Homo-oligomer: A and B are copies of this chain.
C-alpha cells in the first residue's frame, strides 16, 4: 500500500474502509446478478421437468472455487463455506418463493 509518510493512522483507516465499501458494493451487485441467473435456472428446470439437483455439478463448482481461491490467496476453506452459504440461501429463496425447483446452482 502507498503508506504516505504524512498519512495519519486515522487517514489510513479511512482509505482502507473506502476500498472495503467499494468492494462491498461490487459484491452486492454481483450477488444480485448471480441470483438473476439462478432464478432463471430454477424456472427453466421447473418448465422442462429437469432434475432438480445435480451433485456432480456442485462438486465441480466447489473444486473450481477452491482452486480459484488458492490462486487469489484466499483461504479455500472460506471459499467453500461461502459457496455453501450462498447456495443454501438460493435454495431457501426458491422454497420461500414456492418454487418446486431446488437446484443448487
Cβ contacts under 8 Å, A40 to chain B: 1, 16
Q: Please, how many angstroms separate the alpha-carbon atoms of A34 and B75 in the complex? A: 12
Tally of A interface residues using CB under 8 Å: 51
Q: Could you say which of B13, B29, B61 contacts A50, with CB atoms under 8 Å apart?
A: B13
The count of identical subunits is 2
Contact with B along A49-70 (1 / 0, CB 8 A): 0100000010001001100110
A68 touches which of B25, B33, B35, B38 (Cβ 8 Å): B25
Residues of B close to A50: CB separation below 8 A: 9, 13
Q: Are the CB atoms of A78 and B72 closer together than 8 Å?
A: no
Chain B contacts for A74, CB-based, 8 A:
28, 31-32, 35
Contact B93 A28 (CB under 8 A): no
